[in-house]
Amino acid sequence: MTTGHDTAAAAPSKEGGAAPGRPPGDPAAADKERRRRARLSRRWQRDVRWSPYAFVSPFFLLFVAFGLFPLIYTGWASLHKVELTAPTDMDWVGLRNYTRIFDDEFFWNAAQNTLTIGIISTVPQLLMAMGLAHILNYKLRASTFYRVAMLAPYATSIAAASLVFVLLFGRDYGMINWALGLVGVDNIDWQNETWASQVAVSTIVIWRWTGYNALIYLAAMQAIPQDLYESAALDGANRWQQFFHVTLPSLRPTILFTCVVSTIGASQLFGEPLLFDANKGASGGSQHQFQTLGLYLYEQGWVNQHLGRASAIAWTMFLILILIGIVNYVISRRLRASS
């Protein structure tokens, strides 16, 4: 409230700027003038003091309304029986939603799938991104072209990308099986075999995000001071040694950052497995072979209409992420301590 008032002080301060040019008049006017200036300067000080809060408060207000409050409310809802048909009727059930989902084999199946898909999408993706960034960091012809081309998948929506990959991964007429057939591999049922479907879903993720991560690594690489390389070269380090002893250590914070972001992204995988399903359901394939936690949450909340249980899944996911974050932090501290 105060902030809103203070930012409105813009207009009077204009006069303040003009005031020094005015000729001095009689004592009463001078006194008035002094008081006016004091008032303006008080207003100015208040402006300086409070306007930073005015500038950051819209972000925080909206964040509280659409981020923090829902997060806490999800925790509250997870302790209730809430149905999609009447989302405002809540019956207290304590931890029953949690015990229910922990007893559900499909929860554990989804958790395992999420972990597997997360690993086989994140690890190759970040390794390839690192290699790409390293190449892009050389002097190249048409370097902008490669960067833009590699970022094109990022501009493609999950919906469009998933639908294209469904066709490319088709069992009978898909391009990927056709290409594998040329080298003598039998048709793979990418939608129904467990590992194959998980590889296929991971491929969509890898395709969309490798270029983006490569750019992030590239940016970090370009921030490494050149003299580090020069002194390494003077010490007789070849290109590989320079990469391992200069580039990688300097990138450690960036690598950790991309690991955290990718982990969060992988834990929330939803659109890709949803649209990759031939039966167009939320089960993640006929045998739940690629049902992720995100999809399981959707199935519980919007297909089975148990919003309370879906909330419990959401909070479980959140707690797992916090755990991963703590592990990440501990590892990074160990790494820093050891170097």
20-39 binders of other proteins (CB under 8 A): none
**Is the CB of 14 or the CB of 26 nearer to other proteins?**
14
**Is the CB of 99 or the CB of 222 nearer to other proteins?**
222
Residues 6+ apart with CB under 8 A from 84: 301, 302, 305, 306, 307
**Is the CB of 37 or the CB of 288 nearer to other proteins?**
37
Which of 36, 81, 207, 250 is close enough to bind other proteins by CB under 8 A? 207
Site for other proteins in 275-334 (CB under 8 A): 275, 280, 294, 297-298, 301-302, 307, 310-311, 314-315, 317-318, 321, 325
138 binds other proteins, rule: CB under 8 A: yes
**Is the CB of 80 or the CB of 116 nearer to other proteins?**
80
The residue behind tokens 């974050």 is 325
**Is the CB of 28 or the CB of 286 nearer to other proteins?**
286
Residues 6+ apart with CB under 8 A from 160: none
Residue-wise DSSP of 227-264: HHHHHHHHTT--HHHHIIIIIHHHHHHHHHHHHHHHHH
**Is the CB of 14 or the CB of 28 nearer to other proteins?**
14
Task: Name the helix (H) or strand (E) containing 145.
Answer: helix 143-155
**Is the CB of 161 or the CB of 201 nearer to other proteins?**
161
* Least distance between other proteins and beta carbon 137 (Å): 8
Residues 261 and 321: their CA atoms lie apart, in Å, by 11
Which of 109, 192, 268, 304 is close enough to bind other proteins by CB under 8 A? 268
The gap from C-alpha 131 to its chain's centroid, in whole angstroms, comes to 22
Residues 166 and 189: their CA atoms lie apart, in Å, by 11
Planar angle of CA 158, 159, 163, nearest 5 degrees: 110
* Least distance between other proteins and beta carbon 118 (Å): 13
* Least distance between other proteins and beta carbon 303 (Å): 12
71 binds other proteins, rule: CB under 8 A: yes
Residues 6+ apart with CB under 8 A from 228: 246, 250
Please report, in angstroms and rounded to a whole number, the separation of the first and last CA atoms in the chain: 50
192 binds other proteins, rule: CB under 8 A: no
243 binds other proteins, rule: CB under 8 A: no
Which of 33, 36, 74, 193 is close enough to bind other proteins by CB under 8 A? 74
Stretch of 22-30, 92-100, 116-124, 128-136 contacting other proteins, by CB under 8 A: 128-136
**Is the CB of 119 or the CB of 158 nearer to other proteins?**
158
Which of 189, 193, 229, 303 is close enough to bind other proteins by CB under 8 A? 229
Planar angle of CA 267, 72, 324, nearest 5 degrees: 30
Identify whether the C-beta of residue 219 lies closer than 8 Å to the C-beta of residue 137. no
The residue behind tokens 């005031």 is 19
Stretch of 5-13, 24-32, 108-116, 283-291 contacting other proteins, by CB under 8 A: 5-13
172 binds other proteins, rule: CB under 8 A: yes
* Least distance between other proteins and beta carbon 136 (Å): 8
**Is the CB of 123 or the CB of 324 nearer to other proteins?**
324
Count Cβ atoms below 10 Å from residue 97 Cβ, excluding itself. Answer: 26
240 binds other proteins, rule: CB under 8 A: no
**What distances in angstroms separate CA 33 from CA 6, 26, 38, 47, 144, one per listed residue?**
21, 10, 9, 21, 60
